Amino acid sequence: MKMRALITGGAGFIGSHLAEGLLENGYEVCILDDLSTGRLENVRHLQNNPKFELVIGTVLSESLVDKLVEQSSCVFHLAAAVGVELIVKKPLESLTTNIKGSEIVLEMANRYRKKILITSTSEIYGKNTNGPLKETDDRILGSPLKARWSYSTAKAVDEMLAYVYWKEKGVPSLIVRLFNTVGPRQTGAYGMVVPRFVEQALKNKNITVYGTGKQTRCFIHVKDVTSALIKLVGVPNTEGEVFNIGSQEEISIEDLAKEIIKLTKSKSKIMHIPYEKAYEEGFEDMQRRVPDTSKINKLIGFKPTYKLSEIVMDIVRYAKAK
């Protein structure tokens, strides 16, 4: 069978870069996107490619997903409601899209026995501030009534579904947990910090640092993520496995703001905003999030190639060209 990848959520930030990477690697690519957070402009440059197909529709449509999975040799399931701010604002939608959507896609992968990669998230680890976090580490979560944790829980259900579809039914599924992935085409509209800070810096507006700014994250360039995803589906014996993907270059959010101000030569000042104003009363943030990536490193020689300053400059170039 020819190599034909289905990417659910393919018009999104990560999906559109993955589509480019798969086309470069000789795949035919079909993307399914309902354009809720994905954008046509992310994939417009691919539309003249005869090996590329765009289907506008939802992963919640069983008949559509049935047809598209049957036509594909493998599936990358990226369609999800993501972004902390979006999840806090629309928790019901995020729960249903994330759980029902994954269930439908996995059921079709089962029906046609197709390899399926499920994208999960570092939110899985919740408030576990140990570092670096290993795939087998504990999840530490707050109350399920706090919207943020509903996303972590929905994604955990996705992971469990993928795992048991493999264990009980033999579906060749694997899971990746993506840590703070950034790059061109990411929008700040759903809360993501780097595109926001870049946009604020370029407009010489205040940089909105939430909380103390001492919380840390590790940012990875989307191209390093998508090339790892493409390699991963190509290697055998990964079924039923879960892999962290992320950078280990840790930086506090306040230092990130300073670095972006410096790199853009901006006149912006840092403005601290309490969490309850930024999100909602009682909002809980992760103080630290660093991945242990030794498992994927051992398997495919995974190592991020972009330094933080290079990532920021790539985003700056994109934001200026918009």
Per rule CB under 6 A, count of chain residues that contact ligand UDP: 13
* Least distance CB 163 / ligand UDP (angstroms): 23
Nearer to ligand UDP, 144 or 274 (CB): 274
What sign results for the dihedral spanned by CA atoms 62, 104, 124, 117? Answer: negative
User: Which phi and psi angles does 129 have, rounded to 5°?
Assistant: -95, 5
Based on the residue annotation, tell me whether 151 is a catalytic residue of this protein.
Answer: yes
Residue 192 binds to ligand UDP (criterion: CB under 6 A): yes
Nearer to ligand UDP, 230 or 311 (CB): 311
Beta carbons of 147 and 158 less than 8 angstroms apart: no
Nearer to ligand UDP, 30 or 192 (CB): 192
Place of tokens 């909380």: 211
Contact letters for ligand UDP, residues 66-95 (x by CB under 6 A):
------------------x-----------
Rounded distance between C-alpha atoms, residue 219 and residue 99, angstroms: 26
Rounded distance between C-alpha atoms, residue 271 and residue 15, angstroms: 33
Contact letters for ligand UDP, residues 134-173 (x by CB under 6 A):
----------------------------------------
Distance of CA 274 to the CA centre of its chain: 26
* Least distance CB 148 / ligand UDP (angstroms): 9
Beta carbons of 176 and 118 less than 8 angstroms apart: yes
- Where do the DSSP E strands lie in 92-198? 115-121, 173-178, 181-182
Instruction: Please select the residue that binds ligand UDP; options are 114, 217, 288, 295, rule is CB under 6 A.
Output: 217
- Name the nearest CA neighbour of 188 among 173, 207, 171: 207
Residue 209 binds to ligand UDP (criterion: CB under 6 A): yes
Catalytic residue, chosen from 27, 112, 125, 151, is 151
User: Which phi and psi angles does 273 have, rounded to 5°?
Assistant: -125, 130
Nearer to ligand UDP, 61 or 180 (CB): 180
Residue 210 binds to ligand UDP (criterion: CB under 6 A): yes
For residues 263-302, which are near ligand UDP according to CB under 6 A?
285
Instruction: Please select the residue that binds ligand UDP; options are 206, 208, 212, 248, rule is CB under 6 A.
Output: 208
Nearer to ligand UDP, 17 or 217 (CB): 217
Evaluate the omega torsion of the peptide bond into residue 132 and state whether it is cis, within 30 degrees of 0.
yes
- Where do the DSSP E strands lie in the chain? 4-8, 28-33, 52-56, 74-77, 115-121, 173-178, 181-182, 207-210, 216-218, 220-221, 242-245, 250-252, 270-273
Place of tokens 């999975």: 69
Q: Kindly indicate which of the ranges 1-9, 202-210, 259-267, 296-304 contains the residues binding ligand UDP, using the contact rule CB under 6 A.
A: 202-210
Terminal Cα-to-Cα distance of the chain (whole angstroms) = 39
Q: Kindly indicate which of the ranges 31-39, 89-97, 187-195, 290-298 contains the residues binding ligand UDP, using the contact rule CB under 6 A.
A: 187-195
Radius of gyration of the chain (CA): 19
Q: Kindly indicate which of the ranges 22-30, 53-61, 170-178, 209-217 contains the residues binding ligand UDP, using the contact rule CB under 6 A.
A: 209-217
Contact letters for ligand UDP, residues 237-266 (x by CB under 6 A):
----------------x-------------
Nearer to ligand UDP, 76 or 210 (CB): 210
Catalytic residues: 151
Q: Which residues of this protein are in contact with ligand UDP, per CB under 6 A?
A: 84, 180, 191-193, 196, 208-210, 215, 217, 253, 285
